[in-house]
Amino acid sequence: MTTPASIRLLPDHVINQIAAGEVVDRPASVMKELLENALDAGATHIEVDVVDGGRRLVRIVDNGSGMDRENALLSIERHATSKLRELKDLDTIGTLGFRGEALAAIASVSQFTLVTQPEGAAAGTEILMFGGKLQDVRDAGAPKGTDVAVRNLFFNVPARRKFLRSAPTEFTHIRQTFLLEALSHVEVEFVLRADETEVYRLPSAADLTDRIRDIYGGDMVGHLRPMNFGNGVVEVGGYAGAPPFSRMDREWQVVFINGRPASSPVVNFAIQSAYRDVLPGGRYAPLFLNIQVPPEMVDVNIHPAKKEVRFRRPTEVRDVIVEAIRLAIVGTAPATAKRGMPPRSSAGASNTAVSAPPPPSAPVAPPVVAGAPGMQRQADLSFAPPVPPPSPSPPGAVAVASSSAPWRDYRLLGRVGGLYVVLETAEGLVLLDPRSAHERVLYERFLHGLEEGRVPSQGLLKPVPAALSPAQMTAVRKHLPLLRQLGFGMEEFGGDTVLLDALPVWLADVEPAALVSDLADGLLQGARPSAQEWAKPFLADLSGRQAVALRRELADPELHALIRDLSRTDMPYTSPAGKPTVVLIGLRELNRKFARE
């Protein structure tokens, strides 16, 4: 029988290397910890140098407060920190770092040099460490601040070093981490160099839009809408991208919680929920989201690298985020709010008051549509009747009154493939999908009617019985009050049959029995714990089922009416299912394709 191994204490250098595995997993982690130390020290200028994707060198130089010799030596000890005194301080932590283990962990798996000097000191201090062992401490001449160089990361832990990726991959992680810190502290000047080549030089900025413009370019800012919403406890600021501007990954989605780059499952869920009905699956709009909550309402000590937090009232946080994004993306003003992110706290959150480009010129009013007098519209479209244009307007020209439309005026050019409509605008071309556009129009009519508690209905000349399956009947019976709110005159008629005597005016000419069956199927597929959670996906499904079929080509007056109705919706860019209603091709893009730029 094997004799059990005796229990013994691990040596300090082994403990440090194990701890390093929790705090430091790649060069980007090293840079993050050192950047946060620099920001906590009050730095206003930070330079980052990396070599070979950070595998050979990560160096951070800042002009922060610096340290005297005693504090410099303490800083490389495990669990030595100036930011925490007792356990209860975690409930009100106001700094980016607080555990006091980062420098010791980093130094244990690298060749580590620290040079620091506080303001007014006669000399600075230089500390040299090799694999966690102190090699030398000496005086050094240096400017105010701290210079930390981490060379040959994991040189003494081959098992960890072999898991490092290629230099380009590691630099991609470094770049993403660098930009997160730069976006959360716009008042600080940041410089990033890779292999002695300057990649970013970001001057200190007065507001977040300037920093976004420096990083992503002016086109990005033009697609952002300010967020400024809260309930007195949870406050949300920043900018949300307006659909259909999006991409296929989340690189443009940045979340700060009390100024700290971090996230939470509830935050991710809220973002997905807010964009669910306006973007197709797999597309992500740009988002710069800052959440401010009282420190005692958030636990920042649940992840070794402080990447994730936990909220004490997650449902409240979720609801405020969803509403903040919703209000931003259904609005039309560009990023001009004076509060993009709340002011910087002691945790280092930046003051990002916004001064962005001027708002667009006022839209033209009232709406006019070219159409023949007395034209008969198709009942299943249910568009408002067309209005003859004023005489000065050129033939086919239309002005739209809604400022949320992706155009101020347009000219109908024709159709492509019998499916899509081509419009000319002052900005270029607009390709429109009539079916998706009609889905959006119907969806918002239903939704607004539900919210206002009144959906206009039209009585049938003769009540129509509709037989359902037992499962369908159960679903209809459960949601009968909500169906009546939506304008359906419906009563139980014995067994598994309902009697339909009225329909919403927008569906007045559909086949009633088939519609009731579709309703019941939608109820079965879209069942939710509560009626309100059920309503939106159900209405989206209903709108999709009843929208104009692609196979029928609309007459010009019908198209004008549809375009006008789409322009009046809160979100004219996508269908309720997130499919594009329009594709915008700007003149600049056309010029580029024809080599005119």
| Structural domain boundaries in the chain | 12-202, 208-330, 361-597
Q: Which CATH fold would you assign to the domain 361-597?
A: Ribosomal Protein S8; Chain: A, domain 1 (3.30.1370)
* Gyration radius of the chain over CA positions: 30
The pLDDT tens digits for 558-568 are: 888 888 888 88
Beta-strand pair 253-257/287-292: parallel
**Local confidence band at 556 (pLDDT 50, 70, 90 cut-offs):** confident
Please report, for residues 272, 446, 557, the alpha-carbon distance to residue 549 in angstroms, rounded to integers and kept in the order given.
Answer: 29, 19, 17
DSSP characters over 117-153: E-TT-SSEEEEEEETTEEEEEEEE---SEEEEEEEST
**pLDDT value of position 79:** 56
Rounded-to-integer distance, Cα 500 and Cα 466, Å? 7
**pLDDT value of position 494:** 82
Q: In degrees, to the nearest 5, what angle opens at C-alpha 279 toward C-alphas 275 and 283?
A: 100
Distance between start and end Cα atoms, the chain: 81
Residues with Cβ < 8 Å from 582, sequence gap 6 or more?
Answer: 244, 406, 430, 431, 432, 433, 437, 572, 573
Asked whether 255 and 263 are in contact (CB, 8 A), the reply is: yes
In the predicted structure, residue 247 carries a pLDDT above the cut 60: yes
Asked whether 580 and 433 are in contact (CB, 8 A), the reply is: yes
Six-digit token string for 406: 């992706």
Bridge partners of 467?
Answer: 497
SS3 label, residue 12: helix
Asked whether the CA dihedral 227, 228, 229, 231 is positive or negative, the reply is positive
Residues with Cβ < 8 Å from 565, sequence gap 6 or more?
Answer: 383, 384, 441
Residues with Cβ < 8 Å from 127, sequence gap 6 or more?
Answer: 72, 73, 76, 112, 113, 114, 115, 134, 136, 137
Q: 12-202, superfamily in CATH?
A: Histidine kinase-like ATPase, C-terminal domain (3.30.565.10)
Write down the pTM of the prediction: 0.61
Asked whether 524 and 481 are in contact (CB, 8 A), the reply is: no
Q: Nearest CA to 53 among 207, 181, 185, 176?
A: 176
Residues with Cβ < 8 Å from 72, sequence gap 6 or more?
Answer: 114, 116, 125, 127
Share of the chain above pLDDT 70, in %: 72
Six-digit token string for 4: 């059990």
Looking at the domain covering 208-330, what would its CATH class be?
A: alpha beta
The pLDDT tens digits for 289-315 are: 999 999 888 887 565 555 678 898 888
Bridge partners of 190?
Answer: 46, 202
Asked whether 112 and 150 are in contact (CB, 8 A), the reply is: yes
Rounded-to-integer distance, Cα 175 and Cα 28, Å? 8
**pLDDT value of position 48:** 98
How far is C-alpha 381 from the chain's CA centre? 34
Which stretches within 408-489 are classed as H helix? 434-452, 470-478, 480-485
Asked whether 512 and 461 are in contact (CB, 8 A), the reply is: no
Six-digit token string for 564: 């006008």
Same fold, 12-202 and 361-597: no
The pLDDT tens digits for 136-188 are: 999 998 999 999 999 999 998 888 888 899 999 999 999 999 999 999 999 99
Residue 1: burial class (beta carbons within 10 Å; 0-12, 13-18, 19+) = exposed
Rounded-to-integer distance, Cα 354 and Cα 362, Å? 22
SS3 label, residue 220: helix
**pLDDT value of position 213:** 93
Least confident of 113-127, 150-164, 510-524: 510-524
What single-letter DSSP state applies at residue 358? Answer: P
SS3 label, residue 287: strand
